[in-house]
Amino acid sequence: MKRQPLDLKQLYISKEFEDEFLYDGALGSFCDENGTSFMLWAPLADRVWLRLYEDGDHGSLLSEEEMERGSHGVWTFFTKENLCGKYYDFELESDGARQISGDPYTKACGINGHRSMVIDLDTTNPLGWEEDIAPKKEAVDVIYELNVKDFMWEEASGAQEEVRGTYKSLCQNDTTLRGEGKIKTGVSHIKELGVNTVQLMPVFDFASVDEAGAKDQFNWGYDPMNYNVPEGSYSSDPYHGEVRIKELKEVIMNLHKQGIRVIMDVVYNHTYSIDSPLQRTAPWYFYRLDEDGNASNGSACGNDIASEMPMCQKYIVDSVLYWAKEYHFDGFRFDLMGLTDRDCMNAIRSALDDTFGEGEKVIYGEPWKAGNTYLAKDIPLVTKESIGTLKKGIGYFSDDIRDGIKGSVFEFKEAGFANGRTGLEKKLLEGTCSFGTKPSRIVSYVSCHDNHTLFDKLRETTPDLELRLKQYKLAAALYMFMPGKIFFLSGEEFCRSKDGEENSYNLPLTINSVKWENLEDYGDMYAFYKGMISLRKKIANLYGDEGAGVCRGWHKRGVFGFSVDEKSDCPWKRVNVIYNGRNKHFTYRLPKGEWEIIANGESGACYHSHTVAEKKVEVEAVSFVMIGER
């Protein structure tokens, strides 16, 4: 008789099951000159067969081998033959029913991910891979979010036609606008901007794009299919599983050579379909159930991964470590981190610290979920309320800072401080000076792939372009001088727009692609961002977990400011920032000392261009001023 989902979940959380079936060893397929081994955790299966193929698509079956049941629910098969390059899947029999499944732990696959692939990973390493090391961490992370497909898709990007929208486009370091040689694009643009970290939107194998289909298909990719395999639609050849692996490694190695660290956007909160290898090999173990026995849906994507289950936690930790070790990723951004339980996130942090050194690998994520979720065990989730109970080095996106600056992402016409709304001064000041959590945990931002771009959000509240651009600079200055990591969407630095679309996850590239021509129209904004980034690095110690000094703040209606004593390695003893959201100028009376203008909304980061002779500075309407004491 087929077991019901809730009965299975009760079985899985029983002490008897855990005593018999929990396993802490290696899983997946492994090959070398001594042979090939396969290990699959399928605790409730009665029989399992390994099926081998010559190709990863529709090729005929080469052979079928019955696997041996071992301890802890692990099925094994070993052959002295090196099967590198062969494809495989499993046939499992349970309660008299049979079904086919890919390998949940596979590290390579055929086109569209249905067949797993045996791979000798040493054969996928680019020339010089063994010498690849991450650039040294800087005092502040300046993180630039980009999508492999949309970043260099346009002809104006200057990328070679055959590599646009692929991994290879991120290995070209000399691209310019329309190939004219005047304005840098792509990787050279990122480097010139001063960015020191790139966050790649999902590059694991996702199911929402047909890898055999047209090249202009688009999806953000938050639809996991094979967690430990790179996405094939970004590769030059999705039919041969080794190609995508080597090309992604080439991207990371190239960015490292350019002085840029690389963060991977991971989605361990749900899978594209509940009919996944995880479900087929251990039904309902890896997914949450509501009280009626239906799939929990706190992700709003149809299912929730049960990170609180021991073998699920092992799977996630193993996966993160694999990407960090094999691909040299420098950190991880967790999608809907609020669906992951605290113990799992702490285990990830500990595993990375133990392997690479404390804090070497960056972790941050979204401390929220899309809806209610149902846990098999009573363990806190990673929400804003529980951040303080997490291990050191787990950061989170601050939606309070984001919405306080530009207005709610859900209420399109609602403004924030930068676009004219008063009453938010205290909230933003607290975000700057009241460190309820350590500054290193905070990710300050106003735009990402989700919701409106900054330009489109401000257009909702401010039709006048001239005023909107002043608000744009004020918004940038607000979050770039907030505590923690600095994060922004690719193209924000030259007023990226998606034609007003606030949820472009599957819309055409005509909407989603980065429009590099904007660099001509908004070159002034690019220069402003470049200056702000440079300045943020100069005052990197403005916020420290131990405190660089007392942050003193003040606020009035439509205006607020703060002062921080800097550390000795900063050019200024004290830094003051004044933000003016009013539609008229504001006069700021200088404290005692010798002060100079560091930056403002007109000239951007001018550093110590001149000493302020008067005892006051004028802060223009919808602008800011930063001053420093020598």
Active-site positions read 335, 366
What is the three-class DSSP state of 45?
coil
DSSP-assigned letter for residue 184: B
Q: Which amino acid is at 621?
A: A
Q: What are phi and psi of 236, to 5 degrees?
A: -80, -15
**DSSP states of 412-435:** TT---TTTT--S-HHHHHHHHH--
End-to-end alpha carbon distance in the chain? 79
CA dihedral over 249, 253, 254, 260, signed as positive or negative: positive
Rg value, the chain, Cα: 26
Rounded Cα distance between 576 and 70, Å, is: 66
Q: What are phi and psi of 528, to 5 degrees?
A: -60, -50
Q: What are phi and psi of 562, to 5 degrees?
A: -150, 160
Element of type H or E holding 345: helix 342-356
**DSSP states of 574-588:** EEEEEEE-SSS-EEE
What is the three-class DSSP state of 531?
helix
Rounded Cα distance between 9 and 1, Å, is: 16
Length of the chain: 630
- List all residues 6 or more positions away from 212 whose beta carbon is below 8 Å from its beta carbon: 111, 112, 238
Taking a C-beta distance cutoff of 8 angstroms, is the pair 571, 628 a contact?
A: yes
Q: What are phi and psi of 53, to 5 degrees?
A: -135, 160
Q: What are phi and psi of 54, to 5 degrees?
A: -80, -35
Residue with the two structure tokens 């951004």: 333
Nearest CA-CA partner of 89 in 239, 245, 277: 277
Number of H helices, E strands in the chain: 15, 27
